[in-house]
Chain A
Amino acid sequence: MNRIAVVLLLAVALPAAAQQPKANIGYIGAADFTPLFVAKDKGFFEKRGLDATLTRIQIAPNVGPAIISGDLQIGMGTGPNLLHAAEGGLPLVAIAGASRMKKNNPIAGLIGRTGFAYKTPADLRGKKIGSPGLNTMLTELCEKWLHDNRIPRDQVTLVEVIFPQQHDMLKGGNIDAVITIEPFRSRMLNDGTGFKIADYVGEINPDVLAVLWMARRDWAAANPQAVKAFREAYADAIEWGAKNPEESKKILAKYVGFASPVLPDYGVEVKLSDLEFFEKVERELGKLRGPVDVSKLVWK
């Protein structure tokens, strides 16, 4: 009888001990998450000890609330997301970086409609610019660029146009310029629909943290193993991707449903200066009203 009890106990205890920490990870359809897909596909998560499930989220603004409600443990976000969340009292922290925008590899930019007589930024006064999302990182950086070029915000109309619709809206003349990202940017440039107005991100800052990984503060505190495993697996995937670019692109296409000939830079580090940069931009544009302690937003 005793032996049976011991065997039963072991049968329950061993699998429990061997169970890896779990995480449901939210991403959107963009090339910034290639290392995430590689880590899943090539087993880096398993190797580092994380039972990872990847969940595609339709639009980026839904990720933050999903993390707060516990549907996701880790999710994509940007500097502005995190700052607004902190201002609103939401307990989100940055546990790792996902991708970066570097001046020598422009991924995002402002593209003008072919036929729009553009010579200087001042020509954008009174024009309509398509934005993938108002009050999102890419658009705020473009607003900063407009601000730096002395164009008042109320003299430009920003309208929301999601990436897949941008090409047709630009071609049809519904908008005069568009804030866009690869691969949509290259497509518009290559088929003559648009021309480059500015790779504005690089003009503001040569190295910007584009997308980061967020989690709830209490989850990160209670699951240090999961956080460590996630960071290590993501770093493994970045390293593997650098050596196998073509296969990376195939894996990306499998997950997001479109091919991207140009890949962004990836980086798993999140520096305090990355967030301080966004705080400065947001305060300059008047988008942040309350006090935010940026030092508390980077998870150690």
Chain B
Amino acid sequence: MKRLARLPAFGAVLFAAGLLLLWQGLADRQFISPVFFPSPSRTLAELTRQIASGQLWKPLEATAARMFFGWALASLAGVVLGAAIGFSRRARDFLEPSLEFMRPLPASAVIPVAILFLGLSNAMTVAVVAFGAVWPVLLAAVHGFASVEPQLMEVSAALRLSRKDLFLKIAAPSALPDILAGARVSLAIALILAVVTEMQASQIGLGQNILLAQRSFRSPELYAGVVTLGVMGFAINHAIVVLERRLLRWRGAHEQ
């Protein structure tokens, strides 16, 4: 038992179980009306019903696709722009003030503009998600590319590496830890924005399910949607951690 208790996973499971018990307890004592606050058992029953009836998959797929494509677009744009800005002092001076202006714009404010340009389409939602999710990757990439070790730059000059080789063999691997850290934050933001866009621009997805459940006073459905989003967030975060470990294997060896 003592060995089990030392495993970090055991502690995490214990804490989560504690939270669930607390939730069930509060729901049973009806501190808040069960109409608005369903118990974990009711939520799980609703979730099971949605899975069994096949109702869950289309919205889940839609939200996941929106999040993924928006994040991919944001990451690509972030790395490319980040490289351009990171390498060039002049680019930083010219672009940074404007980027700082655009960065805090809330996605909800950008949605009406996006609808005007792109209509009520998937392109619109991907664009909005990408706009909001680009910033962590961009800033991380700028930092990563701007702080390549000077010795590595000297080595590349000495070896007369082409710009392409400099980028692919020296700069990019050097900036990768920063970029991946930024990408992880971006992915979380992409999920949030995918849900917000669905709610505001009436697109099929988990966000819309949650909104409609709220309007029809169906709280188990609402909570089932929230739980699904939580599970999604947990799963994708875990996926990135695994990716990070694989891509940065060389760094571990190097630092040893």
Q: Roughly how many angstroms separate A106 CA and B116 CA in the complex, as a whole number?
A: 31
Q: Roughly how many angstroms separate A30 CA and B25 CA in the complex, as a whole number?
A: 44
- Evaluate whether A85 and B217 lie within 8 angstroms (CB atoms) in the complex, with A135-B212, A174-B115 already known: yes
- Evaluate whether A134 and B212 lie within 8 angstroms (CB atoms) in the complex, with A90-B35, A160-B202 already known: yes
Question: What 1/0 mask marks residues of chain A from 57 to 98 whose CB sits below 8 Å from any chain B CB?
Answer: 000010010000000000000000000110111100000000
Residues of B within 8 A of A128 (CB): 120
Q: How large is the interface on A (under 10, 10 to 19, 20 to 34, 35 or more residues)?
A: 20 to 34
Q: Roughly how many angstroms separate A174 CA and B203 CA in the complex, as a whole number?
A: 13
CB-based nearest A residue for B204: A157
CB distance from A276 to the nearest CB of B (A): 19
Cβ-based interface call for B43 (8 A): no
Cβ-based interface call for B218 (8 A): yes
Q: Roughly how many angstroms separate A5 CA and B187 CA in the complex, as a whole number?
A: 73
Cβ-based interface call for A159 (8 A): yes
- Evaluate whether A61 and B120 lie within 8 angstroms (CB atoms) in the complex, with A88-B35, A89-B34 already known: no
Please state if B218 and A88 are interface contacts (CB–CB under 8 Å): yes
Residues of B within 8 A of A175 (CB): 120
Please state if B217 and A88 are interface contacts (CB–CB under 8 Å): yes
In the complex, 19 of the A-B residue pairs with CB atoms within 8 angstroms, ordered by the A residue number, are A61-B214, A84-B215, A84-B217, A84-B218, A88-B218, A88-B219, A89-B34, A89-B35, A128-B120, A131-B202, A134-B202, A134-B215, A158-B202, A159-B202, A161-B202, A172-B116, A172-B119, A174-B120, A175-B120
CB distance from B36 to the nearest CB of A (A): 9
CB-based nearest B residue for A173: B119
CB distance from B178 to the nearest CB of A (A): 40
Residues of B within 8 A of A61 (CB): 214-215
Please state if B212 and A87 are interface contacts (CB–CB under 8 Å): no
CB-based nearest A residue for B202: A160
Cβ-based interface call for B216 (8 A): yes
Which residues does A use to contact B, with CB under 8 Å? 61, 64, 84-85, 87-90, 128, 131, 133-135, 158-161, 172-175
Q: Roughly how many angstroms separate A232 CA and B147 CA in the complex, as a whole number?
A: 77
CB distance from A143 to the nearest CB of B (A): 13
Residues of A within 8 A of B116 (CB): 172
- Evaluate whether A159 and B120 lie within 8 angstroms (CB atoms) in the complex, with A89-B34, A174-B115 already known: yes
CB-based nearest A residue for B217: A88
Give the tally of cross-chain contacts (CB within 8 A). 46
20 additional contacts, CB 8 Å, given A134-B208, A135-B215?
Answer: A61-B214, A61-B215, A84-B215, A84-B217, A85-B217, A88-B216, A88-B217, A88-B218, A89-B34, A90-B35, A128-B120, A131-B202, A133-B215, A134-B202, A135-B212, A159-B120, A159-B201, A173-B119, A174-B120, A175-B120
CB distance from B39 to the nearest CB of A (A): 14
Question: What 1/0 mask marks residues of chain B from 32 to 71 whose CB sits below 8 Å from any chain A CB?
Answer: 0011000000000000000000000000000000000000
Question: What 1/0 mask marks residues of chain B from 196 to 226 whose CB sits below 8 Å from any chain A CB?
Answer: 0000011100001000101111110000000
Please state if B202 and A87 are interface contacts (CB–CB under 8 Å): no
Q: Roughly how many angstroms separate A281 CA and B212 CA in the complex, as a whole number?
A: 18
Q: Roughly how many angstroms separate A225 CA and B203 CA in the complex, as a whole number?
A: 46
Q: Roughly how many angstroms separate A89 CA and B34 CA in the complex, as a whole number?
A: 9
Among B115, B119, B214, B217, residue most surrounded by chain A Cβ atoms (within 10 Å)? B217
CB-based nearest A residue for B218: A88
Q: Roughly how many angstroms separate A297 CA and B5 CA in the complex, as a whole number?
A: 55
CB-based nearest A residue for B35: A89
Please state if B120 and A87 are interface contacts (CB–CB under 8 Å): no
CB distance from B37 to the nearest CB of A (A): 12
Q: Roughly how many angstroms separate A159 CA and B200 CA in the complex, as a whole number?
A: 10
Q: Roughly how many angstroms separate A173 CA and B212 CA in the complex, as a whole number?
A: 26
Please state if B216 and A84 are interface contacts (CB–CB under 8 Å): yes
- Evaluate whether A64 and B217 lie within 8 angstroms (CB atoms) in the complex, with A88-B35, A160-B202 already known: yes
Residues of B within 8 A of A87 (CB): 216-218
Q: Roughly how many angstroms separate A233 CA and B218 CA in the complex, as a whole number?
A: 34
Interface positions, chain B 110-168, Cβ under 8 Å from A, are 115-116, 119-120
CB distance from A86 to the nearest CB of B (A): 9
CB distance from B169 to the nearest CB of A (A): 47
CB distance from B127 to the nearest CB of A (A): 15
Q: Roughly how many angstroms separate A90 CA and B214 CA in the complex, as a whole number?
A: 13
- Quick one: which of A135, A159, A161, A173 contacts B216, CB cutoff 8 A? A135
Residues of B within 8 A of A133 (CB): 215
Q: Roughly how many angstroms separate A103 CA and B148 CA in the complex, as a whole number?
A: 74
Q: Roughly how many angstroms separate A175 CA and B120 CA in the complex, as a whole number?
A: 8
Q: Roughly how many angstroms separate A160 CA and B211 CA in the complex, as a whole number?
A: 12
Residues of B within 8 A of A172 (CB): 116, 119
